[in-house]
Structure 1
Amino acid sequence: MSVLRTEARRTIAPWLLFVLLAVGLGFFFLFSGPWWKDADAWNLQWTPSILWSRYLLSLLWPIIVCAAAIQGMRDRRSGMDELLATTPLPVARRTAKVGLVIGLSAVVGYLVIVAVGLGQVIANDGMFTFTWVLPLLVGVASVVAGAAVGLAVGRLLPHPLTAPAAGVVALVVGVLLQVAGERGSAVQQTVPNRIALLSPAGAQPRSAFVDPVLSVSIGQLCWLLGLAATGFLVLATRRWFAVLPAVVGLAVAIPIFPAAAADNFVDNPSAAAPVCEGPVCVTTLHAEWLSTVAGPGKDALALLAKLPSAPTRIVETTTPVNISHGPGDPSTLVVRRDDYALRDVSGHDLEYELLAIAPYCSGPPTGTQASYIIAAWLLGDPGAPPHADVYGAWLTTPMHDVGAQLRALPASEQFARVSAAYQAEQTCSGDPYALLTGATR
């Protein structure tokens, strides 16, 4: 331990630890990232918290590589290479101490960031599963691999430009592979999924209802451990056989990786299992929300029963926010707990928002101008909706004008227009707003 303490004082390890914590915790706290507060946020669920920490490696990995490269060229840059070669202490033992100190510093920095996130998850009573363990091991292996690669590059190329060049290359390659792993990205169409999964950083988590496929985590673990072993062998021996662990890790990982990005994740049935109170069902992940939504949900269903093809139940969806859909089952009102309109609202406001949820036409459940006008009509013109201050004139002006025109009509005409508009929303055809105003007959 005394040798390690001495080596730590002689190396860049303390500064590496400081920079990792400053960048990592600064990203999550100073910049409020991740920028949404859904169940897949850094501080609300176990597995997403680990995946966000892995996502952060897109910034941390280049820092680790750069710092390790500076340390790796210490002997050559100090002019002591020939002197140290005459000592009886083998190169492998001497470099092992440096590698251990730098690797330990990087791992400690990463684990502190992970621990801060998981501490908040525990404080928020996030749903516990063991699916976070393998992604955590992959993240640690990635950090160790970054330290090993940086040390090896610094030892092989002891030039003043080596460290910054290695950091830039690590950043560019890491970001490109990370973006290639994002479903729907332009880079994904050109980079095979099996190559994208070699990224030291993870893709951005999109849902708390899915977990990484076991083959993805195992393949990444094999690849990163092989890369780490190669880096340390190059540091200690500089012999050709040092590349064998990375080659073996690559040979194991590539065949077991999924061919398509859509297969990188698998549904978590325990998180998505329904919990119901009468016709209102939420997921197990959001079981505590049932007591809030059950009453307003039943009231909303009772009001909607006035309309043709009205829904008879409310079900929480597990579909990520970036997935689009067409018309669904008209008997089911689909809600998304983490939707902005439903977050932190209850009672009458929640009933209002449930009535204003449009079907899955162009995306996840959300409110439109027409759907808010229909909701106000069903409630007997209750005034401005809960988030009127956010939507502004885009919503309040048509609600006031069209709502007044609608209420001035005979009751039968009001019912006909509202029914036609609601059916247009259900079938994703026609213009519900135009049907409410009478512009379309």
Structure 2
Amino acid sequence: MSGILGIELRRSGALLAGTATAVLGVAGLYLLALTGQTGLWDQQWHLLAVFQRIMLVVLWPLALAAGAWQAGRDRRSRIEELLGTTPAPGWRRLRPSSLATALALAAGYLLVLAAGAPKVATAAGHPGSGWWAVVAVGVLALVAAGFLGLGLGRLLPYAYTPAVLGAGSLAGLLAAIEVTKLDDATVPGPALLLPFFTSTISEFQEVAGSVSTGQAWWLGGLALGGLVLYLATNRLVRLLAVVPPALGLALAAPMLTVTAFPVDTAAVAEVCTTDGGPRVCVTAAHSRKLAVLVAPAREGLRLLAKLPDAPASVHEAAPGRAHPQPASEAWLDSDNLSQAADPAELTARILAGAGTPLCARNEESAYLDVLRARAVAAAWLYGSHPVPGPAYAAAEQAQRDTMWKTLVALPAGEQERRVAAVRAAGLTCGDQAAALGIGAGR
């Protein structure tokens, strides 16, 4: 069997399909580097696993077409009738090609994982626990596409079948994304029946184990149905090919109502300094960044000491962290931790909002006013305006300059009171622009 399998791998289209899967997958990972977006997958193992699954929107149709092309090999070679005269059962003759297809596609998918692994290994703060299941289901999804292509290719042995299956499935999957699109991406519902995920996740989330289990049932049934369709030698057995997918769908149905991407409690757990100085904490997902944060954070605490009831520690605020914020803590948004490279800029970001994270959302009317109030408060604490950080358009910078001049023209006690009010508002997710009382007609 091993010798026959080796021949299949060398002479069939299986190896080419696996190679194409690996090349396209690796290109999909690293093309993001051209626009600085590798953060979509290189910060955590779960991110890499999920991003690989997203790429199945292209790789799955490729595997389907490759399977159909493989199934038509005998017909293209005009030896179909000759092979039919051999005494060996047809399924035994077809088995090596199905195994070769599965191995090649699985190897191609795992090579994509291997290509991304070194970059993730240097950035991931903690290994996570369920990402391997997401990868395994991705392998199963690709193998299911290959087997389904084999089955449909044998059922419809025409020259145009591979092209029609590839292009048609790609169009169908893209249409399915629109049909299954929901406002709440954490509960995708029917979208979980697709072989790929329709959105990425953050480094603080994971794929629920029940989702991976349900998808394994569904995709496993689809793979078995395609294999039965390919190996079947009579019409009755081919009709039975619908049973495994139907059973898999029934077993997978309960997953459609679960929260697909819950918070990874291990990822948001805190890792803190233990050197006896003011405490600085980050999430386990960003534990490799703790050393970089310590000095800017302690400088931020020194500057925040200008305020009454000043905080004594700095903590990374992961998305969704519950308020109210303890008055004894300064919080730093996770986005700021990953975006600031310069220590002085990182200190300024800690001082934004007087040590509180941003609560206003981009779609809110007061969003820009809140950003300006937070920046002016940071400048007052830092002692100069503007603080280190990105440059703004001239019109925006002019508004911030005006707010700054208005603040520092007030008596010293009033300046302190207003900045302290910005912090108090931020502790409870209140209106920090109103607390500062400067700008936008206030």
TM-score w.r.t. the length of structure 2 is 0.83
Matched residues in 1 for 2:182 and 2:312: separation?
A: 34
Q: Match of 1:198?
A: 193
Paired amino acid for 1:98: S
Q: Match of 2:389?
A: 387
Where in structure 2 are the equivalents of 1:107-122 lying within 5 Å?
A: 107-122=106-121
Q: Match of 2:360?
A: 362
Matched residues in 1 for 2:415 and 2:375: separation?
A: 15
Shift of 1:272: 1.8
**RMSD between superposed Cα atoms in Å:** 3.3
Where in structure 2 are the equivalents of 1:199-214 lying within 5 Å?
A: 199-214=194-209
Q: Match of 2:441?
A: 439
Matched residues in 2 for 1:251 and 1:430: separation?
A: 51
Q: 1:163 to 1:433 in 2, by over 3 A?
A: farther
Q: Is the 8 A contact 2:124 2:285 kept in 1?
A: no
Q: Match of 1:343?
A: 340
Per-residue CA deviation, residues 264-314 of structure 1 (Å, 9 max, x unaligned), is 133322222212344532212222333332343344344335446765543
Q: Is the 8 A contact 1:63 1:167 kept in 2?
A: yes
Where has structure 1 moved over 6 Å in runs of 4 or more? 179-182, 364-367
Between the aligned residues of both structures, percent identity stands at 31
Q: Match of 1:159?
A: 158
Task: Structure 1 unaligned segments of length 5 or more: list them.
Answer: none
Task: Structure 2 unaligned segments of length 5 or more: list them.
Answer: none
Shift of 1:231: 0.5
Q: 1:234 to 1:20 in 2, by over 3 A?
A: same
Selected match of 1:271 from 267, 270, 288: 267
Q: Match of 2:399?
A: 398
TM-score w.r.t. the length of structure 1 is 0.83
Q: 1:388 to 1:271 in 2, by over 3 A?
A: closer
Matched residues in 2 for 1:388 and 1:302: separation?
A: 23
Q: Match of 1:26?
A: 27
Shift of 1:227: 0.9
Where in structure 2 are the equivalents of 1:319-338 lying within 5 Å?
A: 319=319, 328-329=324-325, 331=327, 332-338=329-335
Q: 1:34 to 1:329 in 2, by over 3 A?
A: same
Q: Is the 8 A contact 2:57 2:174 kept in 1?
A: yes
Per-residue CA deviation, residues 403-439 of structure 1 (Å, 9 max, x unaligned), is 2343334324434554555556565337449822483
Q: Is the 8 A contact 1:178 1:201 kept in 2?
A: no
What SS does the aligned partner of 2:197 have?
coil
Matched residues in 2 for 1:232 and 1:112: separation?
A: 24
Where in structure 2 are the equivalents of 1:9-408 lying within 5 Å?
A: 9-32=10-33, 36-38=37-39, 41-124=40-123, 126-177=125-176, 184=183, 193-237=188-232, 239-255=238-254, 257-260=255-258, 263-277=259-273, 278-307=278-307, 313-319=313-319, 328-329=324-325, 331=327, 332-339=329-336, 342-346=339-343, 348-357=344-353, 359-363=357-361, 368-381=371-384, 383-389=385-391, 391-393=392-394, 395-408=396-409
Matched residues in 2 for 1:402 and 1:245: separation?
A: 67
Q: Is the 8 A contact 2:65 2:165 kept in 1?
A: yes
Paired amino acid for 1:109: G
Shift of 1:152: 1.0
Selected match of 2:431 from 414, 429, 432: 429
Paired amino acid for 1:70: W
Q: Is the 8 A contact 2:378 2:387 kept in 1?
A: no
Per-residue CA deviation, residues 124-159 of structure 1 (Å, 9 max, x unaligned), is 465223322211211111111010011111111123
Paired amino acid for 1:304: L
Shift of 1:103: 1.9
Q: Is the 8 A contact 1:359 1:425 kept in 2?
A: yes
Q: Is the 8 A contact 2:130 2:209 kept in 1?
A: no
Size of the alignment, in residue pairs?
Answer: 424
Shift of 1:168: 2.6
Matched residues in 2 for 1:37 and 1:308: separation?
A: 42
Paired amino acid for 1:439: G
Per-residue CA deviation, residues 168-222 of structure 1 (Å, 9 max, x unaligned), is 332234345556777626xx79xx9442211111343322222221211111111
Shift of 1:399: 3.5
Matched residues in 2 for 1:408 and 1:118: separation?
A: 55
Q: 1:169 to 1:126 in 2, by over 3 A?
A: farther
Structure 1, 60-69 or 395-404: larger mean CA deviation: 395-404
Paired amino acid for 2:288: E
